Amino acid sequence: MRHVLTLLLLLCSIGARAAAPVVERIDPPFWWAGMKNPRLQLMLYGPRIADAKAQLRAPGVQLIGQRRGDSPNVLFVELQLAPGVKSGRFDIVLSDRAGTVTRHGYELRERRAGSGARSGFSARDVILNLVPDRFANGDPANDDVPGYPDPANRADLGAGRHGGDIAGIVQHLDYIAGLGYTMLWPTPLLENKQPKYSYHGYAITDGYKVDPRFGSNDDYRRLAQAARERGLGVIQDIVLNHIGSGHHWLADLPTKDWLTMDGRYVPTRHARTAVSDPYAAPSDRENFMRGWFIADMPDLNQRQPLLATWLIQNTIWWIEYAELAGVRADTWGYSDRDFLAKWTKAVLAEYPKLNIVGEEWSGNPVVVSYWQRGKKNPDGYVSQLPALMDFPLHYVLRRALASDESWNGGLNELYEGLINDKLYPEPHNMVLFEGNHDVPRLFSVFDEDVALTKMALAYVLTMRGIPQLYYGTEVLMTSPKQRDDGATRQDFPGGWAGDAVNARTGAGLSEAQREVQAFVRTLMNWRKTAGVIHTGKLMHYAPENGTYAFFRYDGSRKVMVVFNKNKTETALDTRRFAEVLTGQVSGSDVISGRRFDLASSVTLPPRSVLVLELR
């Protein structure tokens, strides 16, 4: 009998040890002392960890609550950090019902001095948008990683991974900075452990991990550091609306309401006007914000407070960890609008000078302007978002230059498009772009017309707002004129060993490619020191006879930008501009260096744009 009792006690002891709480993961993996928000929510993962009791003793750190969700393997722990808390490590002590105790170390790191006061991107910058997988393959060894599906297949233009990575971007930083860019916006670099079509990055499966086929978290930090050394900031593409179907959450949802639509695939109708439309059916509004993009991109329920906090902390973690210069928020209006205001407010509370640009993919300025901070919306919604992608003016620019001149088309449409700035509280904070990873390439839209391409680039780089260009535009990369993501995201020439054409070195480029590349380089490097373009006022004149002129000016400097869409030289009567040309008798073209007399008229070269510094 004694032996049986001894055996039972031994088995109980073994069982108790086996049931000891084990922390397999914590989100966020570490944090920083000195953040403005003293609250920190930790999300602990481990077998049956929800049944554990958490305790800790650390100077300046107080455990103020814990909460289990619906998964037995997730435990939420809330901490209060004292204002003067020091950096360092402390133990989170977990005990189960049998009294078995385990300890898990957690770290508060020291913030970089001045981290919270960092400046974000502004009209002083030019942003480069690139797709990492299609930009440059700097490390072929990480093209395929064990355990990750969707192997590299460069022959598959539409959906295959091509092997581009962080190392490839680093290798091109001198080229990027030399062109005159000051900000870098890669599409998402985080893990997309999806069975196929994972290259684009928008089906994230781990919010705290760079996809190993791009590199590591440390590689991302090194990219940001190397970029700063060259005068480039890094903008991270954040996805708040959805995740990938391969996300570890899907196998074990932290709470039953972690996803919208009760975790069922209900497609969105993309009725983006429904958010602010006074006549929209509430069901359409709900479907837009809570419907799923596709079955492989489950929609997140930002009304779930634990998830909302997770998303806010995740964004702040990346800003602090990677020393980011800004955030681009994907599919902005599809998320819950009250959460969006809360998220933006929380991020800007930590980084008041940071800039955040949201993607509201609509050509309707009423829809886009609804989201910019300072807008007095009739429904009372108060947005906190500083910047928006200027889709309305983007579309107008492309139509205006591609179409024939008429009383309501061509340059006249471009002229009239600027009236929409009355809808934006901060038109200088609109991001104006010639192209991005989702739209057909500029050169192709213009039927491969070099002159129109240069006009569009000059417009974007001298107009009010923050300019953004797409990788390869400077070497006239092409695509179908209709949307074709794979073709629009073709490999950057010279990014792969053995490429016959190399944009970085100039090898194999045509005369037209070299011409536009030089045009972009000259104009963007001039723009770096052209404060009048960054912050100057804008005055424009109604188009006439296929020409259009606008002026950027401040107290000490004036620039005249004038377009001639005609196929012949055109005389422009400059006396019409007397109110802004007062005292200016000539102007030097930024591109060619040629001086033009502006006393009474100027002869414009055919199919041209001039950027004239006035004297």
- Please provide the DSSP assignment of 210-241 as one string: E-TTT--HHHHHHHHHHHHTTT-EEEEEE--S
Nearest to 333 by CA among 278, 394, 379, 389: 389
Q: How confident is the model at residue 299 (pLDDT cuts 50, 70, 90)?
A: very high
Q: Write down the pLDDT at residue 19.
A: 65
Question: Residue 249: pLDDT above 60?
Answer: yes
Q: What are residue 478's DSSP bridge partners? A: none
Domain 2-111 homologous superfamily, CATH:
Immunoglobulins (2.60.40.10)
d(CA 561, CA 589): 9
Q: Which residues are catalytic?
A: 330, 359
Listed in order, the ranges of the chain carrying CATH 2.60.40.10 are 2-111
The sign of the dihedral angle between the CA atoms of 90, 95, 99, 102 is negative
Nearest to 563 by CA among 587, 586, 580, 546: 546
d(CA 340, CA 316): 14
pLDDT digits (tens, 9 = 90+) for 513-543: 999 999 999 999 999 999 999 999 999 999 9
Residues in the chain: 615
d(CA 177, CA 179): 5
Q: Write down the pLDDT at residue 11.
A: 39
Average pLDDT over residues 61-89: 97
The sign of the dihedral angle between the CA atoms of 290, 293, 298, 302 is negative
Q: How confident is the model at residue 446 (pLDDT cuts 50, 70, 90)?
A: very high
Question: Residue 349: pLDDT above 60?
Answer: yes
Average pLDDT over residues 18-33: 91
Residue 523: HSE in the Cβ half-sphere, 13 Å Cα cutoff = 29
Question: Residue 10: pLDDT above 60?
Answer: no
Average pLDDT over residues 315-333: 98
d(CA 30, CA 317): 9
Q: How confident is the model at residue 1 (pLDDT cuts 50, 70, 90)?
A: very low
pLDDT digits (tens, 9 = 90+) for 46-63: 999 999 999 999 999 999
Q: How confident is the model at residue 585 (pLDDT cuts 50, 70, 90)?
A: confident
Which backbone phi and psi does 433 adopt, to 5 degrees? -130, 145
What CATH topology corresponds to 124-533? TIM Barrel (3.20.20)
Listed in order, the ranges of the chain carrying CATH 3.20.20.80 are 124-533
Q: How confident is the model at residue 253 (pLDDT cuts 50, 70, 90)?
A: very high
Q: Write down the pLDDT at residue 8.
A: 40
Question: Residue 263: pLDDT above 70?
Answer: yes
Upstream peptide bond of 28 is cis (omega within 30 degrees of 0):
yes
The CATH code belonging to domain 535-614 is 2.60.40.1180
Average pLDDT over residues 280-308: 97
pLDDT digits (tens, 9 = 90+) for 476-505: 999 999 999 999 999 999 999 999 999 999
Q: What are residue 128's DSSP bridge partners? A: 184, 469
Q: Write down the pLDDT at residue 273.
A: 96
Average pLDDT over residues 433-454: 98
Question: Residue 417: pLDDT above 50?
Answer: yes
Q: How confident is the model at residue 20 (pLDDT cuts 50, 70, 90)?
A: confident
Question: Residue 315: pLDDT above 50?
Answer: yes
> Tokens 């781990």 identify what position?
206
Question: Residue 321: pLDDT above 80?
Answer: yes
Average pLDDT over residues 195-222: 98
Q: Write down the pLDDT at residue 338.
A: 98
Interstrand relation of 430-433 and 466-470 (parallel, antiparallel or unpaired): parallel
Amino acid identity of residue 154, one-letter, is R
Amino acid identity of residue 359, one-letter, is E
Listed in order, the ranges of the chain carrying CATH 2.60.40.1180 are 535-614
Phi-psi region of 462 (alpha: psi -120 to 50; beta: other; left: phi over 0): alpha
Question: Residue 7: pLDDT above 60?
Answer: no
pLDDT digits (tens, 9 = 90+) for 374-409: 999 999 999 999 999 999 999 999 999 999 999 999
Question: Residue 12: pLDDT above 60?
Answer: no
Question: Residue 5: pLDDT above 50?
Answer: no
Average pLDDT over residues 156-184: 98
Q: Write down the pLDDT at residue 198.
A: 98
Question: Residue 552: pLDDT above 60?
Answer: yes
Question: Residue 6: pLDDT above 90?
Answer: no
The sign of the dihedral angle between the CA atoms of 595, 598, 604, 610 is positive
Which backbone phi and psi does 149 adopt, to 5 degrees? -75, -170
Q: Write down the pLDDT at residue 261.
A: 97
